[in-house]
Structure 1
């Protein structure tokens, strides 16, 4: 029996990053920030980026780019959904499609998913491995982790330390695949509808970039086979082991 199946649902799913223990138990941790950190990271690596360096704080990307001049860096956005001055992109799976990132270093963070990754890195030990997952790579992450002899914890990043419906949906979806309970066609459509509903009716009035982020990327269940894995301070594609 795989280790993650021996945990209760309340043990294996952390409902927000504020639930990350001060001394996390050994195991594999999947950070879920569906809209949009998990999806953006998965797109960058899926499009061939060398890695995604996760900075400790927003603004640290500039120092990283000084050290790695060829890097593309992500930060905040303007009201017109363009990157803030000095940045190449922002946290958007659709916006990053504008770049050929093949073999290119990238760097970014986010106040929820990125912060969860660095929190686990700071509090963890060599007995902890950190991954990133969402709707788009749920089955890839689950299949990879099922082959590992470690308990799996799924961290729904949430917002400002509070739980959010979209990240809990992503966590539940990954947990389904971890327990080898794939979605039926009807359930798949339902998970898409739930994620769209979780963002609220006002989302239809948002900028085209955000509408694409949600409807063309974040809801694309299992569209990617990418398993982002934290190696030091970089998210890279996990390799078979």
Structure 2
């Protein structure tokens, strides 16, 4: 008898959780890998697709996006947040789910990366092989992603991107939320409120000291559970929405 694990669903094996980008293995096991970066990458990506983006090219390095746009003149590209979170000159948007609402991406290719989630996608792509499939998920599209992966073969691994090489509570909470849905043991209302509190109290205090857009991104977007039927999957260096409804 183990009081810490008795009653916990056997379908949540702890060896499927990668609690930080820095812990992505050099030779990942075959399977499906979900990159979870709740604030902001895993929330911005579904918003770009919800607003009609054709695909999202994940650049290997920040600064590669202008070259992508030269080759794809219709593209919209994302860069750093810039002064006061207004974006950088020469870029169309930055990693913010609220900022991209006013960017015309419908039917257009886009390109971006991010320090944690975007780079975790790239790390997995470079380390993996043809038997590693990479997805992006958060609280907004986690249910749709779980429904999609439940119909696929292979084990699923959860990459809680973290920050600065260390785990982040909000990403672990997001990964657990998706896992519970994937294994058909969804969190109760009370459990969900705890997950959301983990996200809010991990980021909220810091965002109170930053421009309002950060709080908008958190409270109006990142915490808007099950609001997007978007399933971002990497093909080559590009994310596509492979949802049946796309």
> Shorter-chain-normalised TM-score: which range?
over 0.9
**Is 1:71 paired with 2:75?**
yes
**Is 1:145 paired with 2:149?**
yes
Stretches of structure 1 lacking an aligned partner (at least 5 in a row): none
Aligned partner of 1:184 in structure 2 is: 188
Q: Aligned partners of 1:7 and 1:111: how far apart in 2? A: 31
Poorly superposed stretches of 4+, deviation over 4 Å: 5-8
Q: Secondary structure at the match of 1:222?
A: coil
Task: Measure how far apart 1:230 and its partner are.
Answer: 0.3
Q: Aligned partners of 1:106 and 1:137: how far apart in 2? A: 19
Q: Aligned partners of 1:14 and 1:84: how far apart in 2? A: 32
TM-score after normalising by structure 2: 0.92
Aligned partner of 1:156 in structure 2 is: 160
Q: Secondary structure at the match of 1:57?
A: coil
Aligned partner of 2:119 in structure 1 is: 115
Aligned partner of 2:41 in structure 1 is: 37
Per-residue displacement from partner, 1:32-75 (whole Å, max 9, x unpaired)?
01100110011001111001100000000011000001101000
Aligned partner of 1:229 in structure 2 is: 233
Task: Measure how far apart 1:239 and its partner are.
Answer: 4.7
Q: Aligned partners of 2:99 and 2:204: how far apart in 1? A: 22
Q: Secondary structure at the match of 2:200?
A: helix
Task: Measure how far apart 1:204 and its partner are.
Answer: 2.3
Task: Measure how far apart 1:150 and its partner are.
Answer: 0.9
One of 51, 58, 61 as aligned partner of 1:57: 61
Per-residue displacement from partner, 1:153-199 (whole Å, max 9, x unpaired)?
01001112111111111111111111111233333333222211111
Per-residue displacement from partner, 1:84-137 (whole Å, max 9, x unpaired)?
111111100000001231111110001110111011111111111000000101
Aligned length: 236
Aligned partner of 1:238 in structure 2 is: 242
RMSD: 1.5
**Is 1:219 paired with 2:223?**
yes
Q: Aligned partners of 2:26 and 2:206: how far apart in 1? A: 37
Q: Aligned partners of 1:181 and 1:36: how far apart in 2? A: 26
1:98-137 equivalences under 5 Å are 98-137=102-141
Q: Secondary structure at the match of 1:199?
A: helix
Q: Aligned partners of 2:155 and 2:38: how far apart in 1? A: 22
One of 11, 17, 22 as aligned partner of 1:18: 22
**Is 1:172 paired with 2:176?**
yes
Task: Measure how far apart 1:205 and its partner are.
Answer: 3.1
**Is 1:96 paired with 2:100?**
yes
**Is 1:87 paired with 2:107?**
no
Q: Secondary structure at the match of 2:140?
A: coil
Stretches of structure 2 lacking an aligned partner (at least 5 in a row): 1-8
Q: Aligned partners of 1:169 and 1:6: how far apart in 2? A: 18
Q: Aligned partners of 1:96 and 1:158: how far apart in 2? A: 23
Aligned partner of 1:193 in structure 2 is: 197
Task: Measure how far apart 1:6 and its partner are.
Answer: 7.5
